[in-house]
Structure 1
Amino acid sequence: MATTKQFLRYASPNEQRTISREDAGYYFAVIVGAVYQLSDGIATNVPESFFDPLRYCLEKHTWLNVTVGDKHTDKAFYERVPRVDLASHVDIVRDVKAGENDSAAIEELLRQNLDRPFPPGIPPWRIVVLPLGPAQCFIAFAYSHMICDGPSGQAFHRTFLEGLRNASETTISVGSIVETIERPLPEPFDTPSRLPISWSFLLAPLIATFLPRFLVNLLGLKAQASTTDEGTWLGSRIFFDPKTSRSKIRLREIEAPLLDNAIRVARKHDAKLTGALQQLITRALSRALPDPSITNFVTQTAVNMRNSVGTPRDEMGEFASGCYVVHLRDESSGPFSEASWEAARQATRKLAECAATLQDQAIGLLRYLPSIRKWTRGKIGQRRDCSIEISNIGVFDSNPDSGPPPRITKVVFTQPGHVTGPPLAFNFASVKGGGLVYTVTWQAGALGISGDEERFVDEVCSSLEADFKQLE
């Protein structure tokens, strides 16, 4: 029986980026949660009820068995722990406030866990269970971005649901200790062979730093992955105080009929939902920010690159890249104009191109940084590089077509407010046949506005949802 951790491999540059960010205290838990309808025999207030499906997840996903070593350096590495004590990875929320509805209780659970550090020495993940009623609960899978990206959370719940189906309805595991399987980690996504960088793409940021702006624009060069100017809304400059920094969150939902209509209408206009969402969000922000000096917004949309390298959708790990799109200020309301649909089409095409292109991906440039750790910490005081992040982990479609529980009725996706990233993040997820659940997260103080930030975000969300109802 092994008693020591086993070295697996060093972190790739993009993995090192997430490690250095967490080590600095800037970013902790990604959370993908789901509302489960369970069999009557499962006690949702007992941690042992979830040990069997968790064992199944640990057998399927190597990343759940690893820790990160030397996080404080530029040579962090992954190592396998010989065993996992599931009791250290399951929390039960036992006290829902009287009169609190399910949505408010879920939002509070998410808020409490976004900035909650993971204990040292054990794999950086946990499930937090919120009983919602007889045979129903919300299970939040909270995990470190050091080991997995957003879609990995969907993969976890597909595996966990399968584990629930395989387990006896009334069996409770005898013990909490799982002996881990000795196997290698998959190859990182951002290797030089997978993400080649041309000389022109490599040198453009350096050249753009020294040339006058008019020449940079004339030559089409960029000093960074996104394209911002003095009119771009970027919120506050980057700041961080470990004593006061905290994430703020809003949880909202677009009802299923409105979502179905939006998908149908977008398809009619040769666009996809995420392209339309970019327009809806930037229109809502344009109306909420009356400052005429704000002339544009830059969206950063997370792109799942698994298909581009032939990786199965349920393989956990870091397979995300980013696609930047500039949106001109648009204060209009009501149905989209043809110009708005054209912008949605262009965004859709750009996202598809990014998802299929491995040459000159911006994250490939990280390998040329002498110190990712210093680069990460050196962002304090700088301007942000975009206005909004949009992350859509897609549709959960693994429920059985018929038959008894267990099944998943709702999926929620969220992440901490960005310290070094955009001031606002919109995070979307859905279940086949259900509504579009989304969270908005931000670092308190990052919006750079006078007045109440939560009221501002509520206004943006209400405006966004009003426009959803008028898509045609």
Structure 2
Amino acid sequence: MSSEMEEVPLRPTGHMERFNILRNHVKFYNKFGVTASYTVARSLLASNSLEQVIYAALREVLNQHPIMGVTVQDEAAIEPKWIRLPTVDFRRLVKVVDADLGASWDSWTRDALRAPFVVVDDLPMWRIVVARGKSTGKDAETFAVGFFCHHAIADGTSAGAFQLTFLDALNELIEGKIKSVSDIEEEAVIPVPKLPLIPNMEMKTALPVGIFFALKKIFSTYVWSTEDPLNWSGSLISAEAPRPPINNLRSFSLSSDVVGALLKRCRKENTSITALLTILVARKLAVMYPSYTHFTGNIPFSLRKFTGHSNRDMGCYVSNLTPYFSSQERPPWGYISCRSMSSDKPEQDDGKLWEGARASKKEIDEGTATASDQNVGMLKFVSDYNKFFYGKLGKKRDHAFEVTNIGVLDGGVGGGGGEEKACFDRVQFSTAQCTYADPYIFSIASAKNGFMTVSLSWATGVLDDDEAVEMIEWLEGALKGLSEA
């Protein structure tokens, strides 16, 4: 019915959307994604091919998320425009690979992140990789669906929303509420529903910026900024950086029992998983790079509680905060201590660890408490994005590491919905690298009653692979160790 509506004019692009549109256009960034592993009754695939099931579910998802039916026009313009596509061809958007879903997903996820993302006139700004796994039993089949997209149409929470909507569509297909695709050749190309785009971030909140905050940011960005010789942020941004950089990926997953024990401990210590991860990484950096004592973090977070958007809405509604860490015995004012009592064991379960985790949570709570004086609110003052992006080449990176946690997605596991219900118990959030990105980028996502997966992304030439592997293997061990304390 929605496809029969009269043409609805699309709203203008917002500041955050324009930022991401041009960042991709100048090849400073590529894409990010959220992947979920689905278990479905074998009967669903007995009468339908996997492609037929994927296309039928995608057809329903497209009805729920209007931004998935658009592309962008005039990427390099000051005000690029959203253009609704007349049709989408799922055969050009969906790639099927064979994989062992019980093992690491990193190889094929990394390949999906590395694949160039070029905006074209006749395709939407997302791609799907389906990993076909082995049967889990006589009555069940498994496959993973990776949703990889341009950052202008979605943030991490939105990519999670795709998976939740896709799960709903699978269950509607099982229940017969939506029809399956009977002929791939005919049904793979479908009309785009003529739905209005939901409001962008700036249409829902003013993101007010105080004069002192604005002047400080503008001065440090465009005029002069002191360079702290004690601050580690990896190698300089190359003056001729590969754009986008060559992305690498390594992840681990923790069971619900381990995650439950960590949550219990965090609640006891009045902190959170995100804050714990943040202080652990800062403490490990202090050990890995002992000639430096200052480390700046970067924590993106959702502004949906201020915009009124739900976690089911697809769009880009994020800002970020920057906690400062010091391994000095007496940290400067405004810095959180990341000093370990044992320099050889930064994961040591000591009072200083939890003190740092509480301080990190306090910083997160304060930084996410208001829509005022947010970094994203400064985009309204950027008149030349080309100058902004290219001005970063050859400069020092802003942060040492990033921690992004999109939270818990309910994959229907343990919900008592019956054996025929589709479900997922594992999700992975991962991102490609940006030209000026932080050396270590951690992306976290959890499935309710399932696994929490922590992914580390790094760029070739910014970190040595052995540094990244040391960090991610250590972090996995540290979290498991703390869950057993």
TM-score, length-scaled by structure 2: 0.86
Q: CA deviation at 1:6?
A: 7.6
SS in 2 for 1:103: coil
Aligned to 2:367: 354
Work out which of the residue numbers 422, 430, 440 in structure 2 matches 1:424: 440
Aligned to 1:172: 181
Aligned to 1:88: 92
Q: Distance in 2 between matches of 1:374 and 1:284?
A: 35
Q: Distance in 1 between matches of 2:437 and 2:241?
A: 16
Unpaired segments ≥5 residues, structure 1 = 213-222, 448-452
Q: CA deviation at 1:417?
A: 1.8
Q: CA deviation at 1:287?
A: 2.5
Aligned to 2:335: none
CA 1:244–1:79 in structure 2 vs 1: closer, same or farther (change >3 Å)?
closer
Q: CA deviation at 1:364?
A: 0.8
Aligned to 1:218: none
SS in 2 for 1:440: strand
Q: CA deviation at 1:166?
A: 0.5
Contact 1:49 1:173 in 2 (8 A): no
Work out which of the residue numbers 292, 300, 303 in structure 2 matches 1:302: 300
Aligned to 1:434: 450
Q: Distance in 2 between matches of 1:309 and 1:346?
A: 27
Equivalent residue runs for 1:320-469 within 5 Å: 320-329=318-327, 330-331=339-340, 332=342, 333=345, 334-399=347-412, 401-402=415-416, 403-404=418-419, 405-447=421-463, 453-469=464-480
Superimposed CA distance per residue, residues 216-270 of structure 1 (whole angstroms, 9 cap, x where no aligned partner): xxxxxxx5xxx97221211111125448931011121233332212111111111
Stretch of structure 1 that moved more, 356-365 or 168-177: 168-177
Q: Distance in 2 between matches of 1:385 and 1:460?
A: 20
* Structure 2 letter corresponding to 1:126: R
Q: Distance in 1 between matches of 2:30 and 2:223?
A: 38
Aligned to 2:128: 127
Aligned to 1:236: 235
Q: Distance in 2 between matches of 1:335 and 1:132?
A: 39
* Structure 2 letter corresponding to 1:252: F
Superimposed CA distance per residue, residues 60-104 of structure 1 (whole angstroms, 9 cap, x where no aligned partner): 00110010111122221212112212222211114x4xxx67433
* Structure 2 letter corresponding to 1:67: T
Aligned to 1:215: none
> Does residue 78 in structure 1 map to residue 70 in structure 2?
no
Q: Distance in 2 between matches of 1:85 and 1:113?
A: 19
SS in 2 for 1:133: coil
Aligned to 2:286: 286
Q: CA deviation at 1:108?
A: 1.1
> Does residue 52 in structure 1 map to residue 64 in structure 2?
no
Superimposed CA distance per residue, residues 191-230 of structure 1 (whole angstroms, 9 cap, x where no aligned partner): 5952011111111234557999xxxxxxxxxx5xxx9722
CA 1:399–1:455 in structure 2 vs 1: closer, same or farther (change >3 Å)?
same
Aligned to 1:183: 195
Contact 1:20 1:376 in 2 (8 A): no
Stretch of structure 1 that moved more, 52-61 or 461-470: 461-470
Q: Distance in 2 between matches of 1:140 and 1:306?
A: 24
Work out which of the residue numbers 16, 20, 28 in structure 1 matches 2:30: 28
Contact 1:103 1:251 in 2 (8 A): no
Q: Distance in 1 between matches of 2:44 and 2:70?
A: 29
Aligned to 2:138: none
Q: CA deviation at 1:312?
A: 1.1
Q: CA deviation at 1:398?
A: 4.1
Equivalent residue runs for 1:189-200 within 5 Å: 189-190=201-202, 193-200=205-212
Contact 1:47 1:91 in 2 (8 A): no
SS in 2 for 1:21: helix
Contact 2:244 2:433 in 1 (8 A): no
Contact 2:402 2:442 in 1 (8 A): yes
Q: Distance in 1 between matches of 2:309 and 2:360?
A: 24
CA 1:209–1:86 in structure 2 vs 1: closer, same or farther (change >3 Å)?
closer
Q: CA deviation at 1:54?
A: 0.5
Contact 1:190 1:363 in 2 (8 A): no
* Structure 2 letter corresponding to 1:204: K
CA 1:427–1:45 in structure 2 vs 1: closer, same or farther (change >3 Å)?
farther
Q: CA deviation at 1:177?
A: 2.2
Number of aligned residue pairs: give it: 446
Q: CA deviation at 1:351?
A: 1.6
Q: Distance in 1 between matches of 2:361 and 2:86?
A: 45
Aligned to 1:154: 160
SS in 2 for 1:341: helix
Q: Distance in 2 between matches of 1:208 and 1:69?
A: 33
Contact 2:204 2:307 in 1 (8 A): no
Q: Distance in 1 between matches of 2:284 and 2:153?
A: 34
SS in 2 for 1:38: strand
Stretch of structure 1 that moved more, 36-45 or 107-116: 36-45
Contact 1:6 1:81 in 2 (8 A): no
CA 1:421–1:244 in structure 2 vs 1: closer, same or farther (change >3 Å)?
closer
Superimposed CA distance per residue, residues 353-387 of structure 1 (whole angstroms, 9 cap, x where no aligned partner): 33231111111111111211221122111111111
Q: Distance in 2 between matches of 1:210 and 1:396?
A: 40
Q: Distance in 1 between matches of 2:257 and 2:288?
A: 26
Aligned to 1:116: 115
CA 1:209–1:68 in structure 2 vs 1: closer, same or farther (change >3 Å)?
closer
Q: CA deviation at 1:304?
A: 1.1
CA 1:244–1:396 in structure 2 vs 1: closer, same or farther (change >3 Å)?
closer
Contact 1:426 1:441 in 2 (8 A): yes
* Structure 1 letter corresponding to 2:114: D
